[in-house]
Structure 1
Amino acid sequence: MVTHFVVIAYIALGGFLAWRWPRLIWPHLGFAAWGLVQITGLVECPLTWLENWGRAHAGANGLKPGGFIDTYIEGVVYPAEYVGLVRWLVIGLIVVSWAWVLRAQLGRPQRSTA
């Protein structure tokens, strides 16, 4: 469960870490792409599968059909009717963070290879 929270937080806010550590933009691109795939619902998240496996072996019920977000976040952190708005806000956060990283990279002096 903690790993799920960390991954979701990194998807939403990881681009801002790249403001300080620019090389983090590359793993963030991968995580953000994975987040985009996940919201389409075409593929189950391996963390959801792993959590359901652990819950089953502990004798507990699995996550709701929508996975981690539907179980722990939607309707708890924000009302369920705002799912679309929250998704667009997260996408906006990602785009702003990437734009800032790009702006910073374009403004840096080029290193000499000589």
Structure 2
Amino acid sequence: MLRLQALVAYQRNNNCSMRVYTSSVDSYATMLPEGRLKYQVSRMSATFEKDSETMIFATVHLTSDMLTINQVWQEGPLNGRANGLSMHATSDDHITCFGILNVATGTTS
């Protein structure tokens, strides 16, 4: 999704440690390089759970104009040679994994 501001995490192949960082998606061919977002994020960490789920924890510093946050979640393969990410599928659940978080009320849709 273009113009996406992403929190990215994956388990490294070489030592099983977690890599967690921010990335802006500027093209469909992105390799999700580390970069700054349009908003401030701090205290980032991630865990890899027994059932193969990655959980990302972060503090997102809200601005006065951030009433809602569109959230998207994806999964994709690792590129073993580069110890990084490869592109996820562009069909089925990968195009419907989104929601909206209202930061004023705490509700989701």
Highest relative contact order (Cα 8 Å, sep 6+), 1 or 2? 1
Identify the structure with the greater helix proportion: 1
| Bigger Rg over Cα | 1
Identify the structure with the greater strand proportion: 2
State the TM-score, normalizing by the size of structure 2.
0.22
